[in-house]
Structure 1
Amino acid sequence: MKKTNQLHSQVNWGRYIRENLFAYIILGVFTVIFAYPILWSFISSFKTSAEIRQSPFSLPAVPQFVNYANAWNAAHMGDYFVNSVIVTALSMALLIILVIPTSYVLTRFRFKGRNFLKLLMMAGLFINVNYIVYPIYLMINGVSKNLLGNGLILTDNLVTVSVINAVTSVPFSIYLLSGFLTSLPKGFEEAARIDGCTNWGILFRVIIPLCMPSILTVILFQFLAYWNEYLVAQTFLISDAHRTLPVGLLSIMQEAKVATDYGRLYAGLVIVMLPVLILYIFVQKNLTKGISMGGLKG
C-alpha cells in the first residue's frame, strides 16, 4: 500500500510539474527582471563611488554604512522622510474622511442627483492628475495671491499637497469601496435601525466593521501612491525644507557634488523604496484580495 501511495504521489507531482513548468519559468524570469534592480541598488548603497565605477556588479569590499548617514543628514533625506510621512498621513486621513461616508450614501440612499454624482465619480476615474496639476497650481496660486498677498503661502505647503492627493484619488477609492458595499446584504443595517441606530450609528457600528477588508485595501493601495507621488510635490513644493522623498532624491541627483557620490545616491534610493517594499511584503495578499472583493463585485 505504501509503495502504491508513493507511486501515485510521484505521478501527481510529475504531472503538476509538467503542467505548470512554463508558468513557473515565466514567473521566474519576471522575478529576476524586477528584483535585480532592487538588489543591485541595495548592494551599491554599501559601496564606495570608486567600487561602483570600477566593478559595479561585485560585492563591497567593506560595507560603507556611512553612505546612509551622509544621505540622511548631509543630503537632508531625513527631513524629506519626515515631510513624506506628514503628506502621506494627512492625505490618507482626508481620503478616509471623504470616501467612507460618500460610498455609503451613494450605495445605500436614493435621492435626486444620485445617478449624476455616480456618473461624475466614474468620469473621475479617467482624469489623470498629471493633466490637471498645472491648472490646479495656477488656481491655488491666484487665490493665495489675491486673498493672502503671497502665492507661496498656499502653494509651497504640505497641507495643500495632501488635499490635492486625497481629492484626486477619491474616484478610484469610491469605486473600490462601493463595489464591496453593494455586495453586502442590507439585513444588518435594518436590524441595527430597528434597535434604534441612526444613519451615523449604522455607518460606524455596522458598515465600517464589515467593510474593513476593503477599507484596508484602499489605505494600502493609496499609501503606495502617496509615498511615491512626485509630480504634485515637484510642482507645488518649491522650498528645500518642504520637499518630499521622491523630489529630494531627484534634487540630490542633480547636484554635482552629490551625483558623483554614487554610494550616497543609492543609499537615498534605498531610503525611498524600503518602506514601500516592507509594507508590500506584509500586505500583498490582503491587497490583492481586497481589490478582487471590491472591484470585481462592483
Structure 2
Amino acid sequence: MKLGKLLFKAGIRIPLLIWALIVIYPIIWMFLGAFKSNGEIFASPWALPKSFSFDNFILAWTEFNIGSSFMNSIFVTVLGTFLCLVFALPTSYAIERLKFKGSKILFNVYLSAMMIPMVLGWIPLFFLLLKFNMIDNLWALSLIYAVTQIPFSIFILTSFMGSIPKEMEESAAMDGMSPYGILFKIITPLVMTGIITVSIMNAVTFWNEYFMALIFLQTDESYTLGVAMDLMNKEAQYTNAWGALFAGLSIAIIPVLLVYAIFQRKIVKGMIEGAVKG
C-alpha cells in the first residue's frame, strides 16, 4: 500500500519537476547571459560568466532606452490598475448588492465582454484615439488597459461581495451611513483579498501587454517595455548586442517574478476563494 502511494506521488511530481526545469532553465540562462560579454556568449553560451559585470545592464538602461520604457511601463501599470479598481469596485457593489432592475442583465453583459477578443476593438480604438488626438498618450493607454480588465475585475469582486452578510450593511444604513460609506468603510476592507488578487492579476497583465502599446504608441519616449524589447531584439540581430538584450529582458522580468514571489499565496488564495464564493 505504501509503495503504491509512493509510486503515485512520484508519477505526479516527477513530470511537474521536469516541466519546472524546462521552464526555469531558459530564465537562468538569460540571467547568466546578462552578465557575459558578447565574446563569452558566442564562445561558451552555456557556461557561467567569468566575472559578473553590470555593463550590459548599464548599456541596456541608457543606450537602448530601457530606463525610459521601464518608467513608462510602471506608469501605465499603476495608473491602469488604479483606474480599473475605481471603475470596477462601485460597479461590483451596485450589481451584487443594490439589485436594481436589469442588474443581472448588466452582469451577464460584463461576463460576455470577457469572451470578446480584444483584437476586434483595436482598429476602432485607434481611429477613436486619433480623432481625439490621443495617439501616443500614456494616459489614454492606461485608460484602455483599465477598461479591458473591468469585466474580469467585476467577476472576481462580485464573488467576494456576495459572501458578506447583508445584515452588516443594514445595520450601517440604520446608523445613517451612506451607500458610499458602506462600500468604502465596510465592504472594501472585507473584500481586500479579492482586491489584492484583482490588482495583482491586472498589474501583471498590463506590464506584459504588447500589441496595444505597439499600436497606440508611436515614439521612443512613450514606448513601454514590451515594445522597447521588441525593437531592441531586432537591433541586437545587427549589432550583436546580445548581452544588453539579455540584460533588458532581465530588467523586464524581475518585477513580475518579485510580485509572484511576494504575493503568490495571496493570488492563489484569492482565486480559490473567489471561485468557491462565486
Partner of residue 283 from structure 1, selected from 263, 266, 276: 263
CA deviation profile, 1:180-206 (whole Å, cap 9, x unmatched): 111222121112112221111100111
Question: Does residue 21 in structure 1 map to residue 10 in structure 2?
Answer: yes
Question: Does residue 69 in structure 1 map to residue 58 in structure 2?
Answer: yes
Show the counterpart of 1:6: none
Gaps of 5+ in 2: none
Question: Does residue 174 in structure 1 map to residue 154 in structure 2?
Answer: yes
CA deviation profile, 1:55-105 (whole Å, cap 9, x unmatched): 211111122310000001111111011101111111011101001000000
Greater Cα shift, 180-189 or 211-220: 180-189
Show the counterpart of 2:47: 58
Q: Could you say what secondary structure the match of 2:162 adopts? A: helix
Relative distance call for 1:256 and 1:278 in structure 2 (3 A) is: closer
1:80–1:245 CA contact under 8 A, matched in 2: yes
CA deviation profile, 1:237-258 (whole Å, cap 9, x unmatched): 1011000011101111122577
Question: Does residue 223 in structure 1 map to residue 203 in structure 2?
Answer: yes
Relative to the length of structure 2, the TM-score reads: 0.95
Alignment of 1:83-102 (within 5 A): 83-102=72-91
Supply the distance in 2 between the matched residues of 1:256 and 1:68 (Cα, whole angstroms): 14
1:175–1:295 CA contact under 8 A, matched in 2: no
1:252–1:258 CA contact under 8 A, matched in 2: no
Q: Cα offset for 1:26?
A: 1.6
Please tell me the residue identity of whatever aligns with 2:31.
Answer: F
Q: Cα offset for 1:110?
A: 2.2
Please tell me the residue identity of whatever aligns with 1:37.
Answer: P
Q: Cα offset for 1:295?
A: 2.8
Q: Could you say what secondary structure the match of 2:52 adopts? A: coil
Relative to the length of structure 1, the TM-score reads: 0.89
Supply the distance in 1 between the matched residues of 2:211 and 2:237 (Cα, whole angstroms): 25
Q: Cα offset for 1:297?
A: 2.0
Q: Could you say what secondary structure the match of 1:183 adopts? A: coil
Q: Could you say what secondary structure the match of 2:15 adopts? A: helix
Supply the distance in 2 between the matched residues of 1:259 and 1:15 (Cα, whole angstroms): 57
Please tell me the residue identity of whatever aligns with 2:61.
Answer: W
Larger of the two Rg values belongs to structure: 1
Partner of residue 201 from structure 1, selected from 151, 164, 181: 181
Please tell me the residue identity of whatever aligns with 2:11.
Answer: F
Supply the distance in 2 between the matched residues of 1:258 and 1:224 (Cα, whole angstroms): 31
Q: CA RMSD in A?
A: 1.6
